[in-house]
Amino acid sequence: MTDYLRQARDLDAADPLAGFRDRFVIPDDHLVYLDGNSLGRLPVSTRDRLHRAIDEWGIDLIRGWDRWITLSREVGEVLASGVLDASPGEVLLSDSTSVNLYKLAAAACDARPDRRVIVTDDDNFPTDRYVLEGLADARGMELRILKTDIDLGISTDAVREALDGDVALVALSHVAYRSGAIADMMAITAAVRDAGALVLWDLCHSAGAVRVPLRAAGADLAVGCTYKHLNAGPGAPAFLYVRSDLRAALRQPIWGWFGQRNQFDMGVAYDPVESVERFGVGTPPVLGGYAALEGAKLAAEAGIGRVAEKGAALGAYAIALADAWLEPHGVRLASPRDSARRGAHVTLFHPRAWQISQALRAAGVLPDFRTPDRVRLGFAPLYTRFQDVYAGMTALREVMATEAYLRFPEQRSRVT
**Cβ–Cβ under 8 Å, residues 200 and 105:** yes
Q: Given 243, 297, 376, 385, which residue is catalytic? A: 376
d(CA 364, CA 124): 31
CA dihedral of 100, 105, 110, 111, whole degrees rounded to 10:
100
Q: How far is CA 25 from CA 16, 28, 93, 134, in A?
A: 20, 9, 24, 40
Q: Given 73, 115, 228, 342, which residue is catalytic? A: 228
Nearest to 226 by CA among 44, 92, 53: 92
**Cβ–Cβ under 8 Å, residues 80 and 181:** no
Q: Which helix (H) or strand (E) holds 216?
A: helix 214-217
Residue 103 known to be catalytic: no
In terms of DSSP bridges, do strands 91-93 and 239-242 run parallel, antiparallel, or are they unpaired?
antiparallel
Q: Given 202, 220, 368, 388, which residue is catalytic? A: 202
Residue 202 known to be catalytic: yes
Residue 227 known to be catalytic: yes
d(CA 241, CA 92): 7
Q: Given 227, 258, 349, 369, which residue is catalytic? A: 227
What is the distance between the terminal CA atoms of the chain, rounded to a whole angstrom?
Answer: 36
Residue 408 known to be catalytic: no
d(CA 405, CA 391): 18
Residue 376 known to be catalytic: yes
Helix runs in 272-404, H state only: 286-302, 304-325, 353-362, 386-402
- Which residues are designated catalytic? 125, 202, 227-228, 376
